[in-house]
Chain A
Amino acid sequence: MSVLIYAESDNGSLRKGAFEVASYAKGVADALGTTVTAVTVNVDDVAVLGSYGVSKVLKVSDDKLSKFQAKAYSSVIEQAAKAEESQVVILSSSTDSKYAAPLLGVALNAAVASNVVKLPKSTSPFVVERTAFTNKAFQDTQLNSAIKVICVSNNAYGVKEDNVTAVAEDFLPSIDAGNLEVVSIDKATDKVSIADADVVVSGGRGLKGPENWHLIEDLATVLGAATACSKPVSDMGWRPHSEHVGQTGKPVATNLYIAVGISGAIQHLAGINASKVKVVVNTDPEAPFFKAADYGVVGDAFEVVPQLIEKLKAFKSAN
């Protein structure tokens, strides 16, 4: 009857999202009077999950699962949920988890609620709050099925430390990848992704052209940040589509979002609004972004950003 989580990993290490999902699940388990079990795939060291409230870990180790594959992974999670007789199964909102969740929902005959931002308002009936209209609103959703699958929004609940001892045991599910093969993965290993970043530095049309992107990249480097851009910037080919953020691009929910030369159109803001602290640098004091930002600098990016980089370098070496 425990609450089950899928604790996501990348190359054998647990991802940050796994700790947030564990923390959230501990809150749900407390409300239901039960404990949290995690299922992991090809992770050796799982003890750390105890620090976020996980009491039991089902460790799956299999070379057939070396690359993420939604069907195979959702089947592993399904088998773990059945073994644990879990009523609630919780995943993150990563691209992979959102890929697997609906497959899992159908397999378990469970309702799926994505973009969940808070602990359930009640557990009987089971009601959760989710974002809607790309962060322009919230909706309370009641899940009426016996089993419930929840995807927690990134960086909404946060990580909460606990100290439970996580007891690990090997779990041997049957594995079926179906007729689908991942032939290659193209991933920058030296760069933090927009989904995992604590800080995102984003550039808009105000930067005038791709040749000026060193400003965004250098600022991102000092802050250990991921880089992003507005839609026209990717449409014009200045930056890859994978950096396009906003309502029709990637969602951003980081601790700090810095927008440089971005006007703050409604579609852009919708996608980044879940970020905790927003900073804008723009020459136009009337730019709508100033209404959405926490901190703003009215100024020319070509003057402000180089100075900011130098000052941040000094700050970082002093702190």
Chain B
Amino acid sequence: MKILVCISHVPDTTSKINFTDGDTKFDVNGVSFVINPNDEFGLTRAMWFKEKQGASVDVVNVGGPETEPTIRKCLAIGADNAIRVNANPSDSFFVAQELASVAKNGGYDLIIAGRESIDYNGGVVPGMLAALLEANFVNTCISLEVDGTTATAIREIDGGKETIKTALPLVIGGQKGLVEESDLRIPNMRGIMMARKKPLTVVEPTGSASQTETTSFSKPAPKGSVTLVPADNLDELISLLHNEAKVI
């Protein structure tokens, strides 16, 4: 089985979010970047397929040279090859088309993406990719087994989950549950050394078109201060929630 894991390079969850150039660009100053958490769960599941079922695992990212440390980390975790599409990921449709081109060229059976990236939260790249490839698609995927060309997946739904039977080629939008938090791997020295020698191929974009553009960013208005209620006067809390906030 040939697996492709799509990796988004995103600001660490503790990053201060600021904008520059008249609020038109995300300010990367002082921000450290990580593998998108949903993608990391997927990559870790891919490692399981590699170790238990002999799968090969490639990773792909659409981004500039600045994403290479994130890509190398995926190689250090255990991916075999990496591909970077040398382009600014201008919108979801652009990224999906570029990923589809890499996926087609590589003849992958299983493509693992994350449910959403934690920067722009679009959550549409995996579905667009599946549609472009005319592959089966399971989003919010919390469990995946593959047997030959048959796949059994569990999808999280509002208020529960459902079990799906489908076939390869398959695209999933993964999230926590695919593996446990404790299964995530911190690259060791040997992995890091080996990652330096593994191939990281840079390909130029195919000239896909974007459909959207971000014209500006803004930040939420500062919040008013909290109203504290003494622990021995909970009647007041109930009264505030009823009369002032009108939520009960």
Contacts and interface: CB of A to CB of B under 8 A. Distances in A.
A223 B237 contact: no
Contacts of B132: 106
Contact of B227 (A94, A133, A294): A294
B226 A95 contact: no
A188 B3 CA distance: 34
A106 B171 CA distance: 15
A14 to B, nearest CB: 14
A101 B127 contact: yes
B160 A188 contact: yes
Q: Describe A's contact surface by its main secondary structure.
A: mixed
Interface residues of B, number: 78
A105 B128 CA distance: 7
A70 B159 contact: no
Contacts of B231: 297-300, 303-304
A193 to B, nearest CB: 3
Contact of A294 (B120, B139, B245): B245
Given A96-B158, A114-B123, A140 B216 contact: yes
Contacts of B215: 127, 140-142
B242 A140 contact: no
Contacts of B245: 256, 276-277, 294-295
Given A102-B125, A140-B215, A144-B213, A71 B241 contact: no
A206 interface: no
Contacts of B216: 139-140
A132 B142 contact: no
Contacts of B212: 111, 113, 141-144
Contacts of A138: 217-220
A255 interface: yes
A114 B210 CA distance: 16
A291 B132 CA distance: 45
Interface stretch (A23-31, A53-61, A244-252): A244-252
Interface in B79-126: 91-93, 96, 118-126
Interface of B: 11, 13-14, 17, 19, 37-38, 91-93, 96, 118-128, 130-132, 136-140, 142, 155-167, 176-177, 180-182, 210-220, 223-224, 226-231, 234-235, 237-238, 240-242, 245, 247-248
